[in-house]
Amino acid sequence: MNYVDRVLEELKRKNPNEPEFHQAATEILNSLKPMVEKHPEFEKSALLERFTEPERVILFRVPWVDDEGGVHVNKGYRVQFNSAIGPYKGGLRFHPSVNLSIIKFLGLEQILKNSLTGLPIGGGKGGSDFDPKGKSDNEIMRFCQSFMTEMCRHIGQDTDVPAGDIGVGGREIGYLFGQYKRIRNEHVGVLTGRGLSYGGSLARKEATGYGLAYITAEAMRARGESFAGKTVVISGSGNVAVYACEKVQSLGGKVVAMYDSNGYVYDKNGIDLAVVKQIKEVERGRMKEYAERVKGTEYHEGCKGIWTIPCDVALPCATQNEIDKESAEALVKNGVKYVGEGANMPSTLDAISVFQKAGVVFLPAKAANAGGVATSALEMAQSSGRLFWTFEEVDEKLKSIMINIYRNMDSAAREYGVEGDYVTGANIAGFKKIAEAMTAHGIV
């Protein structure tokens, strides 16, 4: 059995009941095969075994008290996956579905994504099975304080720098930061996505969505095309989806549908983003309300139907495995030309193969959504330097990082004879630097 297959088999045996982690590892390791064949020293130094085993996994109890005095206990996670090229970096996800498998798949992806940004950040991820939906601000605050009371002893500005992900936005980062500062007595860049009044960076909030639009636009430019006049479907209506929509619209694309976990809105006239922002960012409401406020729009219960809407570009920006084989086939049948993954691992392995066989330009998450963490690294740089860049400065750097990512994954794919296969291109381009740094550090 070849080295990659053996590592995958062992990984599944040693980590049972972790389907998302198996899925991410399978995609990554299989696409590294041509590189691994050229580097027999990888096997000698058990490089892939070390790469897929987190440096440290922290699991902890998060007890908190609700507004009625009821006591609750959630699970807290921080997976410090790989620090070869910089301090652990990656978001925190608060969602009832969170488990170790999900945090580990996100952490593994994060290692390569962070490497692709070209910035000195290692890979980590964390979160909790806490459900923020329907909780009061005070409940959210008490939960965040309890979570940070444990996590603060494991992180630090040069050790591990968490940020947001699903269910963790500006409000949560504020409460987490307040508790870190109180316990550790240091005002430092230990979290990113901070508010502008206490060390945050302009354009971090917009960065993941804008970055997704920039890299998709670059893929179009390379093919003599642009967003102008294209019909776009975006799933989700959270941080990534909203700012992807904003940038796509400003580049001339027409976004016709978005969703939340209850159902999707189809607005043939083009989504009115001000209404979405009001509902999601101000009122923390549901997409159903969009259809009640904007005439001529349809609301459908359930999410999957969104992928049956004809479009040129699909930008999944909600969660893992939201596009399965059937949805991918529906998109292809309706003529989709570009798929850019704003969410992490939104396409199943079968769905990716449907897209690639059909010649769809498929931009994998670790490249397409890297703008968020890249701008987090820019926030860290500003914190360390006691600097504050303008929106335009940060946005300009973000754009050039996304264009570089596109070029690097494109040329890695060409180098290995699989032109246009950006799954392989992104994995190889990201892994190069990790392999080099891990090798330089010896067996650690």
Which residues are catalytically annotated? 125
Two structure tokens written together for 133: 């939906």
- Which of ligand NDP, ligand 2IT, none lies near 145, with the C-beta cut-off 5 to 8 A by kind? none
SS3 of the chain: helix, strand, coil, percent, to 5: 50, 15, 35
**Site membership for ligand 2IT, residue 139 (CB under 6 A):** no
Helix axis angle for 137-151 and 170-184, nearest 10°, is: 50
**Interatomic CA distance for residues 189 and 383, integer angstroms:** 6
Rounded to 5 degrees, φ, ψ at 97 are -80, -5
Q: Which of 91, 122, 238, 316 binds ligand 2IT (CB under 6 A)?
A: 91
Q: For ligand NDP, which is the closer residue by CB, 85 or 370?
A: 370
Q: For ligand 2IT, which is the closer residue by CB, 36 or 166?
A: 166
Angle subtended at Cα 199 by Cα 195 and Cα 205, rounded to the nearest 5 degrees:
40
Q: For ligand NDP, which is the closer residue by CB, 35 or 219?
A: 219
**Site membership for ligand 2IT, residue 192 (CB under 6 A):** yes
**Site membership for ligand NDP, residue 318 (CB under 6 A):** yes
CB count, 10 Å around CB of 248? 27
Q: Shortest gap between Cβ of 202 and ligand 2IT (angstroms)?
A: 15
Burial status of residue 286 (CB atoms within 10 A of its CB: 0-12, 13-18, 19 or more): middle
Q: Shortest gap between Cβ of 379 and ligand NDP (angstroms)?
A: 11
Two structure tokens written together for 426: 């992104």
Helix axis angle for 422-440 and 100-116, nearest 10°, is: 90
Q: Collect all residues with Cβ–Cβ distance below 8 Å to 153 and sequence separation of at least 6.
A: none
Q: Which of 124, 167, 189, 364 binds ligand NDP (CB under 6 A)?
A: 167
CB count, 10 Å around CB of 118? 16
The two beta strands, 123-128 and 71-82, are antiparallel
Return the residues of window 143-162 that contact ligand NDP according to CB under 6 A: none
Q: Which of 344, 382, 408, 424 binds ligand NDP (CB under 6 A)?
A: 344
Q: Shortest gap between Cβ of 249 and ligand NDP (angstroms)?
A: 17
**Site membership for ligand NDP, residue 240 (CB under 6 A):** yes
Q: Total residues at the site for ligand 2IT (CB under 6 A)?
A: 12
Q: For ligand 2IT, which is the closer residue by CB, 22 or 113?
A: 113
Binding site for ligand 2IT (CB under 6 A): 89-91, 110, 113, 163, 165, 192, 344, 372-373, 376
